[in-house]
Amino acid sequence: MQIQSQIVTTVPVYEVSETLKDVIQFFEETTYSHVAITENGVYLGLLSENDLLCFEPDKKIEEFRYELESFFVTKETSWLDVLEMFSRNEANILPILDENQIITGYYDLEDVVSVFIDTPFFKEPGAMLVVSTGIKDYSFSEIAQIVESNNARLLGAFITDTENDIVEITLKIGSQNFNEVAQTFRRYNYSIVFGNSDDQFLEDLKQRSDYLEKYLNV
């Protein structure tokens, strides 16, 4: 899945030598969590909206140099790693850097999530099945073989949880022969955690996965 078309170039970047006046106005007028700071055009870090109460209009950004957060992505960063970066840093905006540490734009969380939810995994009609097994036992090739051996289509699959050496895999499959697919997974010693229709899946997934809940609720 390509997300480079979602790069935003209208969000400002501030030099460390500037005052906080415009930064304060930026945070007051937007819902963004961070904004990028540069030094002589080179990426230095991010100011957080969480520090807004500490900002004074006449102070220089320089005074907050050691409070800057340093996360970023590049154009080559995969969409899944971009989502992880959003989650790990509790951010809704990410600066995109080139090989010279120059900011070429930002990713907006809402834009990236809209691309993710617009994929066939979420849009195509089908049924959701969540299975679990030992982390050393599962195989995506085996999972695909189980689905397809029952003349069903595998529309997507990803790991939604791992705990105590148990891995949980969420599948979206064509609804045809759904029961046969579930029974075959049981014969292969997979536990059925959840199996239901497309409508009910989203609500269940939001309860089960903190990682995806953050994005599905933007």
Predicted pLDDT at 215: 53
Residue-level pLDDT, tens digit, the chain, 218 residues: 678 889 999 999 999 999 999 999 999 999 999 999 999 999 999 999 999 999 999 999 999 999 999 999 999 998 878 988 998 999 999 999 999 999 999 999 999 888 877 777 777 778 888 899 998 888 889 999 999 999 998 888 888 788 888 999 888 888 778 888 988 999 999 988 876 544 344 444 445 545 555 555 55
Tokens of 143: 């999972």
What per-residue confidence (pLDDT) applies to 200? 44
Alpha carbon 185 to chain centroid, angstroms: 29
Class of 120-216 per CATH?
Answer: alpha beta
Residue 8 has which token pair?
């935003």
Q: What is the 3-state secondary structure (H, E, C) of 90-106?
A: CCCEEEEECCCCCEEEE
Structure tokens belonging to residue 46: 């991010």
Domain boundaries, the chain: 4-116, 120-216
- Which residue's entry shows tokens 């790069």? 7
Q: Which CATH architecture has domain 4-116?
A: Roll (3.10)
H-type helices in the chain, by residue range? Answer: 21-29, 79-88, 109-117, 120-123, 140-149, 178-187, 198-208, 210-216
CA distance 64 to 103: 20
Tens digits of residue pLDDT in 107-133: 999 998 888 777 777 777 788 888 999
CB 94 within 8 Å of CB 82:
yes
Model-level pTM?
0.65
The pair of three-digit structure tokens given for residue 144, joined into one six-digit string: 């695909």
* Ramachandran sector of residue 209 (left: φ over 0; alpha: ψ -120 to 50; beta: rest): beta
